[in-house]
Structure 1
Amino acid sequence: MSLTTKVLLNKVRQKQDGSYPLVIRVTYNRKIAYIPLGYTFQEKDFDQKNQGLKTASKAVDNVTRFNNQVKDAVKNVYTVISKLEEDGSVRGMTMTDIKKAILNEGEENGDVTVFQFMETIIDNLKAVGKFGNARIYKDSLNAWKNFRNGKDLLFQQITYKTLKDFERFFLKRGSKENTISVYLRTFRSAYNQAVNEGLVSKDNYPFDKYKIPSNKTRKRAVTLDVISMIEAYEPEPHTRLWNSKNYFLFSFYTRGMNFIDMASIKLENIVNGRIFYTRQKTGGEFTIQIHPKAQAIIDLYSEGKKRSDYLFPIVKTPNNPSQTFTEIKNGLNYFNKALKTISKHLELDVKLSTYVARHTYATGLKMHGMSTEVIKESLGHTNVAITEDYLKSFENSVVDDADNALFG
């Protein structure tokens, strides 16, 4: 047997975040195949000499355990080819055939399972500071663990029936269709990544026939009369209700800015009467004219602060991304709870939430003549980013004029 192996990063297939897939290069009788291991890493984390992660790497929770898994995968290559030689089936096989044999054997031995692969995605997202996305994948993974009672499985075991059973499992337990939809759309994304990594063939792609459930969410916009009631509401200054009122109105005055984006605004983002910021969810660059009503709120919070300070008192530990994410998440929970209290105080029929300001802004623009190609009053659109894409496709002056018409 003329067989050599080497664990390396596949520099030909660089990912958008600058990472590379971890593979085993198999050279057998002078022919080469690359066996994907289902992980991607930055070059700084990889130890070429020892063919594994560097001891100090933070890319995974346990470097020693991970490197041992890689060594087991290499041993599996030798085991599979030895078996093929012993039974004579290797004769006439191409390297593609041998690669499939190695991958199939590896999956049967549990080298790359659904749970493991999703954990890798979560680790990679955390490594680049995308804690929100990591949490969404973690929720989906936990849902699968619940459905499977903790028993792992392989991607090729996922069928149309599996997905339907998953859906029925959570419907019987009272989960909403939209919650199940998030679990499955996230899992579909993970499955697609596994296909791209060569871990599973798309020949029997289960999502070709299965339709992910979705339920159109009811409209959450309120009338402008309700906005006026909120503006006139006067809780005790510098309390949780006072802050929440200001956050809600600031979001409305700034084109329905999301809470995480508001929490991330610093005074240095405010230049010449405009706010310049990067949308956390999409990475898109946005600029918003500051209406006098929004400026009044800015003035309340900016006194005595430096240009590098956050506008709102939500983030306390900016140098710790994980803690910052937790602070914003907790701040959002407090915000929504306070908005419910405000709804009761004002005896509103609708419960205020972080979404209401955004949807009210969108429907308000439509009522003031903005094209339906730009603002959609319904929440039946694919995602919030589409609405923002329509908005940013117009010249600032056009949207600025619409803002002035809306806010008065």
Structure 2
Amino acid sequence: MATVKVKFRASSVADREGRLFYQIIHNRVTRQISTGYKLFPSEWDGLYAGGLLLNSKGKRHAYLATLKSRIAEDKARLECLVARLDRAGESYTAGDVVKLYLTPSNREDFFTFTRMLIGQLRQVGKTHTAERYVTVMNSFGRFRRENELLWEEVDSDLMVEYETYLKSRGVCPNTSSYYMRGLRAIYNRAVEKGMTVQREPFKYVYTGIDKTIKRAVPLKVIRQIRDLDLTLFPTMDFARDIFMFSFYTRGMSFIDMAYLKKKDLQGGTLSYRRQKTGQQLFVKWEKPMQEIVDKYNTNGTPYLLPIIRDMNADIRRQYKNAAHLVNDKLKKLGEKLGLTVLLTSYVARHGWASIARSRNIPLAIISEAMGHDSEKTTRIYLASLDTTSVDKANSRILKAL
């Protein structure tokens, strides 16, 4: 295994700065890499000892601090290259390490690696993971202003800066955690491939999942949504119909609605498997469901609802575009009704569960109806949907004081 050292060469002229260089030693052969970094001999003593000189002030102190950071990054990168060559199991020389370090094409940055990874995931059919990484990379790219990012620059300080950036733009903790967990997954893949060493850059940022405030609307709001005359607003009318279909089918998720096929409806029963869990559910077919299906022309497709319309186009992209359109129109519909809850397709699912609970429908039945794998999941789901009864109890206690 090659050894990497940081060396200082003093100037032959008194009171002049000397130069730093990196020394690569392998099989008793030594090669050097010039850095262009300049220091006075007294300053090198301070850096070599692991800290900045106490007597350095102002711009010089800032320069030394930056220099110390760059040296650490350069050395980390050289060590990564050595580790990669060692893993390859083939013989190499100190000159090979130098050549790799100085070759721009081998300075593979974070974004280049991520784009390559996304392409590989798509090739093996892992579309969902690929799309997640695209979302994460786009957000992180905006933070970086699309500047390249070498692996040795990915550290805990950078992740804290990114988290602060997300907070300043009103991103909620769960969304920030989603980005961080995606970046961590990409980073760990790079570590596995020997692109970088594990420096635990995510140890100071939040990567958990907060218990979110569940959003639901009461039955009277569901009626308002159903009874709105949206004849003059066809796209909003379509979004409302998808929302109501979800409610009618016990809170069916948008992706499950998108992939429903005509053959899934037989003998007055709609059967489907949840995309999320693979669990099979059966729904009794009711009149309002049929009214929505009859309203739209789906000839030429095997699908029950007009979400995926073009059989020659990318199906998943059509689903995602439709989801974006529906949620955008539902948001405007909610504003039109003056709702305090942000109206999305998911509110229909929350709404059905909340209303079922308020009608004293047993938890086991709600759990089965929603396709939860256990009642525990349903309890978590319902935990903060409706606190009316708790609030009433508290009011009674306060009035008794």
| Equivalent position SS for 2:26 | helix
Give CA deviations for 1:165-222 in whole Å, capped at 9, x if unaligned.
11113333444444322221211222233344454444x3233454337665433111
Match of 1:235, as an amino acid? L
| Equivalent position SS for 1:318 | coil
Give CA deviations for 1:11-49 in whole Å, capped at 9, x if unaligned.
xxxxxxxxxxxxxxxxxxxxxxxxxxxxxxxxxxxxxxx
What residue ranges of structure 2 are gaps of 5+ in the alignment? 1-23, 32-82, 379-401
Pick aligned residue for 1:390 from 357, 367, 374: 374
- Structure 1's 145 and 242: CA in aligned 2 closer, same or farther, altered over 3 A? closer
Residues 1:338 and 2:322 aligned together: no
Q: Report if aligned partners of 2:248, 2:288 keep a CA contact under 8 Å in 1.
A: yes
Pick aligned residue for 1:162 from 151, 158, 161: 158
Correspondence list, 1:341-380, <5 A: 341-367=332-358, 368-371=360-363
Q: Which residue of 2 aligns with 1:239?
A: 234
Match of 2:349, as an amino acid? R
What residue ranges of structure 1 are gaps of 5+ in the alignment? 1-81, 90-94, 376-385, 395-408
Q: Report if aligned partners of 2:254, 2:323 keep a CA contact under 8 Å in 1.
A: yes
- Structure 1's 97 and 193: CA in aligned 2 closer, same or farther, altered over 3 A? closer
Match of 2:308, as an amino acid? V
Larger of the two Rg values belongs to structure: 2
Q: Quick one: distance in 2 between partners of 1:362 and 1:329?
A: 25
Pick aligned residue for 2:184 from 157, 182, 188: 188
Q: Quick one: distance in 1 between partners of 2:101 and 2:181?
A: 24
Correspondence list, 1:5-404, <5 A: 84-85=26-27, 87=29, 98-99=86-87, 110=106, 112-128=108-124, 131=127, 133-202=129-198, 204-212=199-207, 217-236=212-231, 239-280=234-275, 282=276, 284-293=278-287, 295-297=289-291, 299-301=293-295, 305=299, 309-321=302-314, 324-367=315-358, 368-371=360-363, 388-390=372-374
| Equivalent position SS for 1:144 | helix
- Structure 1's 117 and 303: CA in aligned 2 closer, same or farther, altered over 3 A? closer
* Identity fraction in percent: 29
| Equivalent position SS for 2:111 | helix
Q: Report if aligned partners of 1:240, 1:338 keep a CA contact under 8 Å in 2.
A: yes
- Structure 1's 220 and 279: CA in aligned 2 closer, same or farther, altered over 3 A? same
Match of 1:98, as an amino acid? D
TM-score normalised according to structure 1 size:
0.58
Give aligned pairs, total: 295
- Structure 1's 161 and 304: CA in aligned 2 closer, same or farther, altered over 3 A? closer
Q: CA offset at residue 292 of structure 1?
A: 1.4
**Aligned-residue RMSD, C-alpha:** 4.3
Q: Quick one: distance in 1 between partners of 2:170 and 2:163?
A: 11
Q: CA offset at residue 119 of structure 1?
A: 0.9
Residues 292-301 or 246-255, more deviating: 292-301
TM-score normalised according to structure 2 size:
0.59
- Structure 1's 291 and 115: CA in aligned 2 closer, same or farther, altered over 3 A? same
